[in-house]
Each structure stands twice: as structure tokens, then as C-alpha cells.
A = this chain, B = another copy of it.
Amino acid sequence: MTITITAFDRSPDGGKGLARDTRIRWALEETGQPYDVRLVPRDEMKEPAHLRRNPFGQIPTYEEGELVLFESGAIVLHIASHHAGLLPDDANARARAITWMFAALNSVEPSILEIFIARILERDQPWATDRLPVVLDRVRERLGLLSDRLGDADWLDGAFSAGDLMMVSVLLRARPSGVLDEFPNLAAYVARGEARPAYQRAFAAQLAVNTRP
């Protein structure tokens, strides 16, 4: 069955790979799955046709036959559960890899998204300038703990897994603020993720969409 994902018709980041379709493309590339892409214009995100796919009116979504999924975490886990390459065979190691996916999405991404909220959504609010350093300090605290755990390992728990795919994807969103580079081992970890051929293909595919005439 054909896999079809949705992506922004034009990503707000102009093709930097920070939109959440990139992590799905990456998972599909790591597992060797071909896929089609349906581009959704931003003014159609909250229209009934797209809300049927994703009740929050966001991208990405995933369609395969009768199955319709949303949430990048659920989609990456679905891909990783059905195709080899992103989860270890050992049951305990598998549970730990999935734990890192949730950690990326629930313990790391929310604090990083606060940077976006402060810099973009609340940019015109009177507190915008004074609040940003407070937000960045919370990100630093979280990234400091992650940096301590990673140490000088290549990946978070043994071989590269869906947990690393998600953590690298989330950390990339902290890079424009400069805060990622304050943690050299995390910056190197992200660079290792970006160097993977599957990531390169995923990045190129989203860039092609966002730089087309």
C-alpha cells in the first residue's frame, strides 16, 4: 500500500528542515520506504478535509490504506514498529529507545518550542525582549541534563534508534537560537544525525518542496 504524508505547501522555515514532516521523511528513508507527499496550503490547515486527518490542523499526517495517523511521534513509532532499522530487537533496549522518543517530544521539545513562542508568536508583546532570556535559561537547564546523560557517546542508548531520530529532530529546532551550540557534545550529536544518508535525503526532499518556483 502506498504511504502518503502531508507537509506544508510552503514551510514557515523556508526549507530549513524544522517542520515536522522532515522527521517522518527521515524515518521513511532510514527504513527504505517510498512515500508520496500531499502538500497542504497553510490556509487549508484548519479546513474540514485536513481536520479529518489531524484534529489539530497540523502537519504531518500519514495515510496507508484505511489507516490515518497524525502526530510525528506516533507516525515515527508506527514506521519503526513495522520496518527494520529504527528499533533494536531486544525487548528492553526497544522499550528504552521508545522512551527516548517520548523524552524528545515531552521533556525536550516543549521547552524549545517556548523559544518559538517567545520570538515569533509573542514578538509584539511588551514582555518579548525581557522574557526571552528566562525561556532560554529553562532550555539550557534541560539541555544541560541531556548533555550530561549523552556524555561522549555517539547515540543515547547503544546504536542509532528512533529515539535518536526524534531527539536530533527536536534539538535542531534549538539551533537557530544559538543555545544548542553551548553544548558541544549535543551539537556534535545533532551533526552525526544530519550526516546520515537517510537524513540527507529527507532534508533534500523537503528543501526541494520549499525552494520550488
Chain A residues within CB distance 8 Å of chain B: 51, 55-58, 66-74, 77-78, 92, 95-96, 98-99, 101-103, 105-107, 109-110, 113-114, 117, 121-122, 125-127, 130-131, 134, 138, 142, 145-146, 148-149
Contact = CB atoms under 8 A, between A and B. Distances in A.
B95 A67 contact: yes
Given A55-B149, A92-B67, A99 B74 contact: yes
A53 to B, nearest CB: 11
Given A71-B102, A96-B69, A102-B73, A131 B127 contact: yes
Nearest to A69: B99
B130 A126 contact: yes
A127 B122 CA distance: 12
B145 A55 contact: yes
Chain A residues touching B, majority SS: helix
Contacts of A74: 95, 98-99, 101-103
B67 A107 contact: no
Given A106-B105, A106-B106, A55 B130 contact: no
Contacts of A99: 69-71, 74
A12 to B, nearest CB: 17
Contacts of A69: 95-96, 99
Contacts of A92: 66-67
Could you say how many copies of this chain the assembly holds? Answer: 2
A64 to B, nearest CB: 9
B106 A73 contact: yes
Nearest to A156: B55
A106 B103 contact: no
Given A70-B103, A72-B102, A122-B134, 11 more contacts: A51-B145, A56-B107, A56-B146, A67-B95, A71-B107, A72-B106, A73-B102, A78-B98, A110-B113, A126-B127, A127-B127
A66 B90 CA distance: 12
A73 B108 CA distance: 14
A105 B104 CA distance: 11
